[in-house]
Chain A
Amino acid sequence: MSDVLRRIEIPIALTIIATLLQVIPYYFEIPALESAANTASNGVLLIVACATFVGVISIIQVHGKRIQRQSEGWYYSLLVIGLSVIMALTGLPFPEAGLGVNNSIYNWLFINVQTPLGGTMYSIIAFFITSAAFRAFRARNLEASIILVAGTIMVMGNAPLLTNYFPFIADVSLWIRSVPNLATMRGVMIGGALGSIALAVRTLMGIERGYLRGGGEE
């Protein structure tokens, strides 16, 4: 029995059914199918929400091993596990017990730890971009020169100090955004749409199985 359940055809069939259940009611007016599709998609939202502990368990696995082996930097892993467990426990949906999204510890950690860390983590890229602008952004050939000039004009166009005294910079940067950038992104978008349709068809035909890999099996 378990050999039958292990067959890759089962998840492929589930994918196909789930896809068709979303697509067919959109194009054909079949009330029963529409109702089933709505219930199915609501059910999928719950399935997605159920995966919430996967990250916590993975973290505990990886960092727990580090603590166990006392690898380099293992004490930092204590912080990782400790905080993820605290957030997970205080966030449990039991408002009667004072837990949940309104729990004071949960909110304190979000406002005073998550918020500054999240905002700062992505902002350090500003410095790396600055360093790259100085050390790597070179007009080595014509194409590099085009990207350099376009990029520099866009940077200047976002500086009110420059656009106020040199309005033509704003006009040129708007032109770059509205013409070559539009052309690039429109081409990418149309190509991407066709590519995503092709990928979806391949998935529906069971040819594309990349998302099902893992576990040491096919």
Chain B
Amino acid sequence: MVDIAIWTAVFFTLGIYSILYRENPWFRIAESCYLGVAVGYAVGQDLKYIRDQWGGQWSSSAGMMLLFAIVMIIGIFWYARFNKEYFYLYRWPLALVVGTGIGAALRTVIFSQFLAQITSQANTPFFVAGDMVGTINNILIQIMVPSVLLYFWFTGEIRESAPMKVVEKIARYTMMAGFGSAYGYTVLTRYSLFIGRAQFLLGIPPNPADSRMAFIVIAFVMLATMIGYDMFMKKE
């Protein structure tokens, strides 16, 4: 008995992976479905939130109901972006959203991303008793962090000065090592995602065992059609 759900999931998984061979209709089908479902999915979650909110504080009094109506009208202004004549209305909800977002971030960014980091940097001791490696690491941190900061802050002619040339070198080498670290973790992430999909394709528990057969059949069909088509075109 073929489980349509599993075969569908395997089909779409392999449809995406088929791009590794070359651009092909299987990939275009999968890509189109992804776009369609992704765009439509958010509608359910967003509208549920609006409905639940209406059931709460927004229907608790006449004043709140009026406010809710005003908010909904402003929310409808988003769709003015599709009309050239009324496009200016689209900027109003956008301005409110952007302004609120900036305000929410602005009020504490100075603490979480600035003061806390500077405090931590200042509290990093140059010398750690009984720990030579820790001491060297802390000294390196105390040299590297200001170098990176100065590298970003001071640009232009001042970079030509002798001290800034040294700072620039330290900063660049530090950042290259840092980006290398980022690369290493990027490889981990991408392969972890691939391994997760591979576990599904192979039917490794708790994934359904039926997906292995679906994987073999669908992979064979896709490869056969793509390679067969290429061979046919080569002959022509």
Contacts and interface: CB of A to CB of B under 8 A. Distances in A.
Contacts, number: 407
Given A12-B95, A50-B76, A57-B79, A183 B39 contact: no
Interface string A35-61: 000011111111111111111110101
Closest 10 CB pairs of A and B: A154-B184, A91-B44, A87-B40, A50-B75, A150-B180, A22-B103, A18-B99, A83-B36, A184-B178, A187-B148
Nearest to A128: B190
B178 A181 contact: yes
Contacts of B33: 79-80, 83, 113, 117
B39 to A, nearest CB: 5
A18 B40 contact: no
Contact of A123 (B144, B182, B193): B193
Interface in A160-218: 173, 175-194, 196-197, 200, 203-204, 211-212, 214-217
Interface residues of B, number: 114
Interface stretch (B6-14, B157-165, B219-227): B6-14
B8 A112 contact: yes
- Which of A21, A92, A151, A178: most chain B Cβ within 10 A? A151
Contacts of A191: 149, 152-153
B13 A116 contact: yes
Nearest to A199: B102
B191 interface: yes
A121 B79 CA distance: 30
Contacts of A192: 113
B113 to A, nearest CB: 4
Contacts of A71: none
5 contacts: A46-B68, A50-B74, A114-B37, A116-B12, A186-B117
Interface in A1-37: 5-6, 8, 10-12, 14-23, 26-27
Contacts of A73: 28
A19 B193 contact: no
B123 interface: no
A73 B202 CA distance: 32
A147 B180 contact: yes
A159 to B, nearest CB: 9
B53 interface: yes
